[in-house]
Amino acid sequence: YEQLGYGAENGTWRNFYLSGTTELREGQFGTPTVTASPDIIAHLTPTMLFDAIAIQIDGPRAWEEKLSIEIHLTDVDERYRLRLNNGVLSYTAASQNTPADAALTTTVRALSALAVEGLTPQGLERAGVQVEGDASVLSRLAAMLDPGDQNFPIVTP
């Protein structure tokens, strides 16, 4: 890996090979940065944020869970419906005929509180997000999230 790393012209491949070399010699070293920092999350569009939350869903554990959350972004007058069903969190901007289990009213800037403050009603309230309806839906959604292992191995099983 070390020889491949020093011979690679592409920075991505070079970093992979040299990280693999370090892991084999010294053991796992974890992720050197925090990917869920407020600075990074603040620059995500609403749909990117929903995707980031969706990939953290533990599908098998969330298989029986059914919930929906309406999100109204007042500064850009956009509405989204998040829906957890069959272990998958999906979203749409299309208008819905049925009421959601919970409704969040916020701005695009404060929307990052979904990831930074957590999905607790108290955390969202501190961030200026208004919660209406069944607030336990947020806790149920948070219980289905699996943030993953930041100390994952790169080349070792």
Where do the structural domains in the chain lie, given as residue ranges? 1-30, 38-143
For the chain, percent of residues with pLDDT exceeding 70: 91
* Average confidence (pLDDT) over 112-133: 76
Q: For residue range 32-87, list pLDDT tens digits in order.
A: 656 667 777 778 899 998 998 899 999 999 999 999 999 999 999 999 999 999 99
- Cβ atoms 72, 155 nearer than 8 A: no
Give me 135's structure tokens.
């607030």
In angstroms, rounded to a whole number, what is the distance separating the alpha carbons of residues 55 and 146? 9
Q: For residue range 86-106, list pLDDT tens digits in order.
A: 999 999 999 899 999 999 998
CATH topology of domain 38-143: Nonspecific Lipid-transfer Protein; Chain A (3.30.1050)
pTM for the whole thing? 0.76
* Pairwise pLDDT comparison (122 vs 141), residue with the higher score: 141
18: nearest Cα among 32, 28, 30, 4: 4
Measure the CA angle with vertex 111, ends 110 and 114; round to 5°: 115
* Average confidence (pLDDT) over 107-118: 75
Residue 148 pLDDT class (50, 70, 90 cuts): confident
